[in-house]
């Protein structure tokens, strides 16, 4: 019999030190970009009165959604009794917290005046989904932290129902969190591209896909540092199948979402804009999200192959899914704002304030650096946690 044990990361390979150094530089550049926009104002960004949520919001929402899905491995272990995932439950939890912190850091630093976050935390308008998300995000960090404690503390882990109870609470909370994030857009009836209840299940399916893709990449990088493969053959095959299922689910909800909009004559204009007439947005949707971010990685995962080949394509497919995810949220968030507001249905509106005109948006370098800094912060926090705490699985013969 083998007894499951855990250890911290004891060393880093030279390649990993290079990656850590690059992430540190990107984080510093991201902080510098935030200070630059704070000092000069958002006029130095590509945002305007028409595009008020820019590229940093794309990164922030992407990381927040992925954080929810990163916890999926731990949920499958404790909630659905899939014991093959138990060795990765701790890593799943800490990665979820790190991704959420990275996304929230980008969100706060992109406020223009980050000090206003204290106003948002002390003054609530509960008719606004943004107010509810303050509780959802902070509650997620607290609940997942308690979940990790239940898994790692010896006395707590020996309690028959504590770990499973915390697993169920974390599972339910992350579904509510992702629903709330999707509802930020689904409740905005003024923006025709957003106004849809289907955005909530679409975001949930996307969270499963992008969270698992992050998990695969982190496991691959950590295996190199640990000097041994942390991903067993059974789990690698399982991840391959789950990535395919989640990608097909995202594709399904995307198709249904757009077909629903096309069916409603009032939303025909915005759909033609996003799918055909919107310039860069249809190109990003069809080439970046559908072909490069969905069909191509599915093609890499689909063929029956030996386990060695399957393990080689997993990181590439995961990276493509993540790139496709960024493109997906770019089209949803930026494209949805670029299409003009319908102020007077049935009439054409124009004014000196660009009413009725398609908004132009070109991301600036500070916006890109701030978004990349959020991803670097999440990865550095994960690396630091792996160095300090026993999150990595180690199978050893049980001592007699």
So what's the pLDDT on residue 352? 64
So what's the pLDDT on residue 400? 32
Using 50 as the pLDDT threshold, list the residues of the chain that sit under it: 1, 395-400
256-285 pLDDT, tens digit per residue, is 999 998 888 778 888 999 999 888 999 999
Encoding tokens for residue 59?
């990164």
Place of tokens 């395919």: 244
So what's the pLDDT on residue 1? 36
So what's the pLDDT on residue 258? 92
DSSP 8-state secondary structure symbol assigned to residue 287: I
The alpha carbon dihedral of 65, 67, 72, 73 has a sign of positive
So what's the pLDDT on residue 399? 36
So what's the pLDDT on residue 70? 93
DSSP alpha helices (H): ranges in the chain?
14-40, 55-70, 72-78, 89-109, 117-122, 129-152, 154-158, 162-186, 199-226, 233-263, 268-272, 280-283, 296-301, 307-330, 336-338, 365-388
So what's the pLDDT on residue 292? 95
Give the side-chain half-sphere CA count within 13 A for 104.
18
So what's the pLDDT on residue 323? 96
Sort strands 2-7 and 392-397 into parallel, antiparallel or unpaired.
Answer: antiparallel
Cβ-based neighbours of 189, under 8 Å, separated by 6 or more = 195
All structural domains of the chain, each given as residue ranges with its CATH number in brackets, are 14-388 (1.20.1630.10)
The span from the CA of 294 to the CA of 302, in Å, is: 12
So what's the pLDDT on residue 304? 63
So what's the pLDDT on residue 8? 76
The span from the CA of 270 to the CA of 21, in Å, is: 43
Furthest CA-CA distance within the chain: 82
């Amino acid at each position: 019999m083998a007894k499951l044990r855990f250890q911290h990361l004891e060393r880093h390979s030279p390649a990993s030190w290079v990656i850590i150094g690059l992430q540190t530089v990107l984080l510093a550049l991201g902080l510098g970009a935030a200070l630059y926009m704070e000092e000069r104002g958002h006029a130095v960004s590509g945002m305007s009165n028409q595009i008020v949520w820019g590229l940093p919001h794309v990164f922030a929402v992407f990381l927040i959604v992925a954080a929810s899905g990163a916890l999926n491995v731990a949920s499958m272990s404790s909630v659905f009794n899939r014991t093959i995932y138990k060795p990765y439950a701790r890593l799943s939890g800490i990665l979820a917290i790190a991704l959420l912190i990275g996304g929230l850091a980008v969100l706060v630093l992109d406020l223009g005046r980050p000090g206003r976050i204290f106003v948002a935390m002390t003054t609530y308008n509960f008719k606004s989904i943004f107010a509810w998300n303050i509780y959802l995000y902070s509650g997620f960090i607290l609940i997942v932290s308690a979940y990790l404690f239940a898994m790692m503390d010896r006395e707590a882990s020996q309690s028959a129902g504590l770990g499973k109870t915390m697993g169920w609470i974390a599972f339910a909370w992350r579904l509510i969190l992702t629903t709330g994030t999707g509802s930020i857009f689904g409740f905005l009836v003024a923006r025709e591209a957003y106004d849809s209840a289907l955005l909530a299940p679409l975001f949930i399916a996307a969270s499963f896909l992008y969270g698992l893709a992050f998990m695969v990449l982190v496991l691959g990088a950590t295996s190199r540092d640990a000097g041994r493969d942390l991903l067993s053959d059974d789990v690698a095959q399982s991840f391959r199948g789950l990535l395919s299922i989640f990608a097909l689910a995202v594709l399904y909800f995307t198709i249904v979402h757009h077909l629903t909009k096309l069916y409603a004559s009032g939303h025909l204009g915005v759909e033609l804009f996003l799918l055909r007439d919107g310039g860069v947005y249809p190109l990003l949707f069809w080439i970046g999200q559908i072909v490069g971010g969905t069909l191509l990685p599915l093609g890499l995962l689909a063929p029956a192959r030996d386990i060695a080949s399957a393990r080689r394509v997993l990181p590439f497919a995961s990276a493509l899914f993540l790139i496709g995810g960024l493109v997906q949220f770019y089209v949803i968030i930026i494209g949805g704002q670029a299409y003009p507001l319908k102020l007077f249905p049935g009439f054409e509106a124009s004014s000196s304030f660009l009413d009725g005109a398609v908004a132009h948006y070109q991301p600036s370098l500070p916006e890109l650096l701030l978004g990349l800094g959020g991803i670097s912060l999440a990865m550095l926090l994960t690396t630091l946690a792996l160095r300090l705490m026993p999150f990595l699985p180690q199978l050893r013969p049980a001592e007699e």
